Structure formats: C-alpha cells, structure tokens
Amino acid sequence: MKKTPILVKKPKPRAVTRLRNYFLTGFVICAPLAITVYLTWTLIKWVDSWVKPYIPEVYNPDNYLPFSVPGFGLLVALFLITLVGFLTANLIGRSIVSYGESLLSRMPVVRNLYSGLKQIFQTVFNEKSESFKEVALIQYPRKGLWALVFIATETTGEPQKKLDEPAGQTVSVFLPTTPNPTSGFLLFVPENDLLRLDMSVENAAKLVISAGLVTPEYQAKTKALADGIKSNAEKIQHIENSEKI
C-alpha cells in the first residue's frame, strides 16, 4: 500500500520580513533617482551661481519674478559657449583668439597653466582622437592582481625614448580609483602587458564606481552570433554569385 505524501505548507513570511523587503525594494528604486536629481540640481545651482551675477539686470528674469528661475544661468552659459565657438570659426574670431593667446603666453605662470589645459581639452574632445575610448586590464600593483585602466594614447616624447630599450613601445593609461574614477594614476605600460577588453568606457566606469557590484553583461556570445550570421550571409552571397556565373 502506497503512502500518501504529506504536504508541508511553507510558512508565510512574517510581517516584519515583508516590510523589510518592501523597504529594500523601494530603496533600490528611490536611491538612484534621488542621487541623480541631487547631483543634477547641484550642477545647475553651481553654474547659476557663476553666471547669474554677470547677467545684466534687465535680462535677468529673477528681477521680474517673485522666485528664482533655476537653470537660466546654465542656458546662458551654453548659449555663450556656442556663440564663442561660432565666432572663433571665422577669420576675425581666430585673430582675436590668437591675440589673446599671445598675451597669455607672456605671463610666466598663467601661460603654463593655460597651454596645459588647452592641450588636454583638445586631445580629449578631438573627434578623431582615440583617447579614453578603450578599456584594458593590467597587472597592478603586482603580478597576479589585475586592475582596470583606460587607454589614453601611445607614449611619446622623452618617457618613450627612455623606455624604448628596456620596455619597447609603451602605452599611457589612466588607472582610476574606486569609487571616485576622476582620481587615479598615470602609468606607462608596455603594449604586450595590456589585456584589451571589448567593454565600453561607460560600462567600465560603472564597474569602477560600484566597486565591482555592477558587472556589465559580457557580449562575447552576441558577437559570436553576429559573426556567424555575417559568415553565413557571405557564403550565401558567394553561392548566388557562382550560380549567376
């Protein structure tokens, strides 16, 4: 005679457990939203505090309304930056900029600061530049430990000349710190010691900021599928061309 299986009912979660789960779910949803709003609002207020004092009172809407208009200084800053770029694109604008730079080049301390910052911004925002568009792994601070780095450019100048014989061609990389990726270390790494990744810079930044908690989805399978589809399409095209001949 078969025994009838005894069904054991799972105990229902207690009210405290349910409340804790609800709180954690709400926290996961609200915390990123609140931080994003806070950082955005802080940025807007910071730009407004710099720009609004220089806006003529006639054009400042805060003088006509009973409340302050947030973001107006940011809009003015964007408009002025775009206007400067437009004026600089013509001959007269370039002449004015060249004259201003010639004045700055005569100032002992300011000229070094300005030239360095200008070169950095030109390198980073150059559309043809490949700087900081690749991610790699290097063994740091010792062999067996791996760190995520952003590839800046191939090393040039005196550092490369001195390293050419012992290390060969080296690459300038930026090793960010966690959780603040804006600080870090500049390292000159031999090309052969780099393990380049397919990961985007945005996903790498998320990985660094989250201290490894947010791991981007690996796209190797997707890439393999795309390569397979492309290969099959090329084979079909080749067969069709052969039949036409």
73: Cα separation from own chain's centroid: 25
What is the model's pLDDT at position 147?
Answer: 92
- Please identify, in words, the CATH class of the domain defined by 134-217: mainly beta
Average pLDDT, the chain: 81
Token duo for residue 22: 């609800």
Q: What confidence tens digit (pLDDT) does each residue in 36-46 have?
A: 899 899 999 99
Task: List, in sequence order, the alpha helices (H) in the chain.
Answer: 15-51, 72-88, 91-104, 108-125, 157-167, 201-209, 220-244
What is the model's pLDDT at position 41?
Answer: 92
Share of the chain above pLDDT 70, in %: 80
Say whether pLDDT at 8 is over 60: no
User: Could you count the other beta carbons within 10 Å of the beta carbon of residue 189?
Assistant: 20
CA distances from 240 to 96, 160, 227 (A): 62, 52, 20
The model's confidence at residue 227, banded by pLDDT at 50, 70 and 90, is low
Supply angle C-alpha 53, 57, 62, rounded to 5: 80
**CB-based contact 135:201 (threshold 8 Å):** yes
What is the model's pLDDT at position 146?
Answer: 92
Strand order in the sheet with 195-197: 184-190, 170-176, 146-154, 134-139, 195-197
pTM of structure: 0.58
Alpha-carbon gap, residue 58 to 71, rounded angstroms = 17
Q: What confidence tens digit (pLDDT) does each residue in 79-93 have?
A: 998 988 888 877 777
Q: What confidence tens digit (pLDDT) does each residue in 165-218 have?
A: 887 889 999 999 888 888 899 999 998 889 998 888 888 888 888 888 877 776
Alpha-carbon gap, residue 124 to 119, rounded angstroms = 9
Alpha-carbon gap, residue 140 to 146, rounded angstroms = 6
Nearest to 160, CA basis, from 152, 169, 151, 148: 169
- Residue 90: phi, psi to the nearest 5? -100, 175
Alpha-carbon gap, residue 77 to 54, rounded angstroms = 11
